Amino acid sequence: SVVPDYLAEVLGDAESDTSGAQAGYIPELATADPDRLAVVFATVDGTVHGAGDVDAAFTIQSISKPFVYAMALSDRGFDRVLAKVGVEPSGEAFNEISLESETGRPRNPMINAGAITAHSLAGPENLKPVERVDRVVQGLSAFAGRQLTVDETVCGSEMENAHRNLAIAHMLRSHDILTEDPRTVVDGYIRQCSVLVTTRDLAMMAATLANSGVNPLSNEQVVDAAVVRQVLSVMATCGMYDAAGDWATQVGIPAKSGVAGGLIGALPGQLGIATFSPRLDRHGNSVRGVSLFERFSYDMGLHVMEVP
């Protein structure tokens, strides 16, 4: 295959770009090695190609959001989830403190307000908080096709500085979008964000979305195809926050970023792509990740609006 050489070449070209900076508001993330760089392609038939630090572990952060939204849709049904979280792009930063004015709903499940709400909807009703976290970690593991664990250091570091997410959760509680203790829900959400993954794991998770919810290696149907359609639609419109429009035009692949530097894209019926590079742009998206995806989309004609 020519793919490994191509991936190595593209990574080499990306190395010189050292612009951007690690997330500073989670102190533990600021200590990450900023020069780490990786890419993995995983096709729906289970072929995996990668280059760079493909097995370096980092926290999943906001890349957990589409997967936990998928779990909420599966566990509670579309109506119950849509009553509490919308599907409109916000055009705002990921941690914006704002809700829809009439309903009090978060605008979509990719921003923190919607993701904290989606976390509260994972698993059946009346689960204890620890059981819900367990359902989420097991669900993320099923998408990845191997057992994942929580990085307690990153989790503690974010929890100590979680004032903004706590503010969001209290606001959600005041609108009865959340019905339990806001602190407990934020604690669970931050555990969800602190799950350790590698670029290889993220590519498999993205490939599971590309493969209508079936993990290409384990062959497990993790969520059904209708759920995946909903999740990919929301990723396409909201996954890159206030850079979603630039991304849609220049890359054109349903995607999700995380503040530890991960980035995934899923091309339905074809392929999952993941990149890792910790320096972020002003939207909180990985600088090199965005330029790698632009390059892949252009070189291989991956834009979903383009006739192959």
Which amino acids are annotated as binding site for substrate, given as ranges?
62, 112, 158, 165, 189, 241, 259
Q: Rg (Cα) of the chain, in Å, rounded? A: 18
DSSP secondary structure code for residue 253 in this structure: S
Shortest Å, Cβ 9 to ligand GLN: 29
In the residue annotation, 65 being an active-site residue is answered as yes
Q: How far apart are CA 78 and CA 300, in angstroms?
A: 35
Burial class (CB in 10 A: 0-12, 13-18, 19+), 308: exposed
Q: Number of residues interacting with ligand GLN: please give it, by CB under 6 A.
A: 11
Asked if 258 touches ligand GLN (CB under 6 A), the answer is yes
Instruction: Tell me which of 259, 264, 287, 290 binds ligand GLN, using CB under 6 A.
Output: 259
DSSP secondary structure code for residue 195 in this structure: B
| Pattern 93-122, ligand GLN, x by CB under 6 A | -xx----------------x----------
User: Which residues, 131 to 190, sit near ligand GLN by CB under 6 A?
Assistant: 158, 165
Q: Are 203 and 274 in contact (CB under 8 A)?
A: yes
| Pattern 270-299, ligand GLN, x by CB under 6 A | --------------x---------------
* Closer residue to ligand GLN in complex, CB, 29/51: 29
Q: How far apart are CA 40 and CA 221, in angstroms?
A: 22
Question: 40, 62, 84, 185: which is the annotated catalytic residue?
Answer: 62
Q: Which residue is nearest to ligand GLN (CB)?
A: 62
Instruction: Tell me which of 43, 62, 120, 212 binds ligand GLN, using CB under 6 A.
Output: 62
Asked if 193 touches ligand GLN (CB under 6 A), the answer is yes
Q: How far apart are CA 107 and CA 88, in angstroms?
A: 6
* Closer residue to ligand GLN in complex, CB, 51/136: 136
Residues making up the annotated binding site are 62, 112, 158, 165, 189, 241, 259
In the residue annotation, 62 being an active-site residue is answered as yes
Q: How far apart are CA 284 and CA 213, in angstroms?
A: 27
215-218: which pairs have CB atoms within 8 A and are 24 or more residues apart? 215/142, 215/143, 215/144, 215/145, 216/42, 216/43, 216/44, 216/45, 216/46, 217/46, 217/145, 218/142, 218/145
Question: 189, 222, 223, 257: which is the annotated catalytic residue?
Answer: 189
In the residue annotation, 6 being an active-site residue is answered as no
In the residue annotation, 241 being an active-site residue is answered as yes
Asked if 242 touches ligand GLN (CB under 6 A), the answer is no
What's the sign of the alpha-carbon dihedral 76, 78, 83, 86?
Answer: positive
Q: How far apart are CA 173 and CA 239, in angstroms?
A: 24
User: Which H or E run contains 230?
Assistant: helix 225-238
Shortest Å, Cβ 140 to ligand GLN: 14
Question: 40, 44, 64, 65: which is the annotated catalytic residue?
Answer: 65
Start-to-end CA span in the chain (Å): 20
Q: Contact residues for ligand GLN (CB under 6 A)?
A: 61-62, 94-95, 112, 158, 165, 193, 258-259, 284
Active site residues: 62, 65, 189, 241, 259
